[in-house]
Amino acid sequence: MIDLWFVLPAVALLVGACALVPLGQQVLQRGVVFMDLAVAQAAAAGSLWALVALHQHADGADAALDLAGLAGSLLCALAVAGLSRLWPQRREALIGLLYVLCACLALLGARMDPHGRDRMLELLAADVLWVQPAQAMALALAAALLWCALLYRPRLLERDLPFYTGFALVISVAVPVLGLFLVFALLIGPALWLGRLSASGDHAQERPRANAPAQGVEVTQGGARLGLSRIRPLFVPLLLAWVACLLGLASSWWWDAPSGACVALACALLGLAAVWRRPKAR
C-alpha cells in the first residue's frame, strides 16, 4: 500500500496538470511547440546563474533563485513573442536556437558553482516526492488563476501579451517543482489528444471564431457561458493527464525509481498514444 506521504506529490502533479494542459492547447494552436523547452530552460538558466552570484545557500537564497528563474522565463517568453511577430515563417527554428542559447547558459552556470550540477539535474528531472507544501500551493494558485481566466475571460489567452506573460509565470513556478522534462511532457502529451478527440482537429476549434456574429447572443449573455464551452474539450485530456501522472508516480514507488522521470515517461507515452486515434475523415 502506498504511504500517505505520497499524497502531497500526487496533489502537486494533479494541480500541475491543471496549470499546464490548457497552456499546451494554446501552444499547439499557435505553433510554438519549442517555446516550452526554451522558456523552461531559460528559467533554469536564470536560477543557475543566481546560484553562481550567491556562491552559497544563505537565508533567502531560495527566493532569489525563484525570482531569477521567473526573470529568465519572462525574458525568453517576450523574445519568443518578438521573434514570432518579426519572422513567423521561421519562428520554430528561431525558438530552437533560443533553447540552445539558454541551455548553454545553464551549462556554463552549472560549471561555475559547486552545487550547480546538482541544481541543474533537479531542474531537468525534479524528484516530485520531495515537493514542499508551499510549492504545491503556488502551483494550485497558478492553476486556479488560469482556469478563472479561461472561464470568465475566455478570449484573454488569444492575445499575445497575456498569453506569453502568463505562460512564463506558470513555467517559472512549475519547473522547480516538476522539472523541465515533466513540464514539457505535461504541456504537449495531453494536448495532442485534443485534435484526436474531435472530428476535425484544430479546425474544429477555429470555426466558431469565423461564425462569431451568429453567436452574439451567447457572448452577450456572459463570458462564463462562452468560457465553459471552450474549456469543456479540456476535460478528457486533463483526465488522461491525471491518470498518466498517478500511474507514473505509482510506478516510481513500485520500482523505487526517480519519480520525475517515471511521470514524464508516462505523459510522453500518453502523447505518443494519440497517434493511434485518428480523427474521422470528412
Q: pLDDT tens string for the chain (282 positions)?
A: 445 567 899 999 999 999 999 999 889 888 888 888 899 899 988 888 887 887 655 555 677 878 888 999 999 999 999 988 888 888 888 999 999 999 999 899 888 877 778 888 888 888 898 898 999 999 999 999 999 988 888 888 888 889 999 999 999 999 989 999 999 999 999 999 886 444 333 333 333 343 443 333 334 345 556 667 778 888 999 999 999 999 999 999 888 888 989 999 999 999 999 887 655 544
Q: What per-residue confidence (pLDDT) applies to 139?
A: 93
Name, in order, each residue with C-beta under 8 angstroms of 130's C-beta and a sequence gap of 6 or more.
none
Contact assessment for residue 73 and residue 42, using Cβ atoms and an 8 Å cutoff: yes
Q: Widest CA span of the chain, in angstroms?
A: 62
Rg (CA), the chain: 19
C-alpha separations of 15 from 11, 19, 125, 263 in Å: 6, 6, 18, 14
Domains of the chain: 4-276 (1.10.3470)
For residue 271, the model assigns a pLDDT of 92
Question: How far is Cα 209 from Cα 169, in angstroms, rounded to an integer?
Answer: 27
Per-residue model confidence (pLDDT) at position 213: 37
Instruction: Look up residue 161 and give its three cell numbers.
Output: 501579451
Cβ distance 123 to 72 under 8 Å?
A: no
Give me the pLDDT at residue 53, please. Answer: 80
The pLDDT assigned to 57 comes to 52
Burial of 176 (0-12, 13-18, 19+ CB in 10 A): buried
Write the CB contacts of 275 (distance below 8 Å, at least 6 apart in sequence): none
CB 213 within 8 A of CB 224: no
Cα angle value 249/20/31 (rounded, 5°): 125
Judge residue 269's burial from the number of C-beta atoms within 10 Å of its C-beta, 0-12 exposed, 13-18 middle, 19 or more buried.
Answer: middle
Concatenated DSSP letters of 113-165: STTHHHHHHHHHS--GGG--HHHHHHHHHHHHHHHHHHHHSTTGGGSHHHHHH
Alpha-carbon gap, residue 143 to 125, rounded angstroms:
21
Q: Return the pLDDT at 50.
A: 85
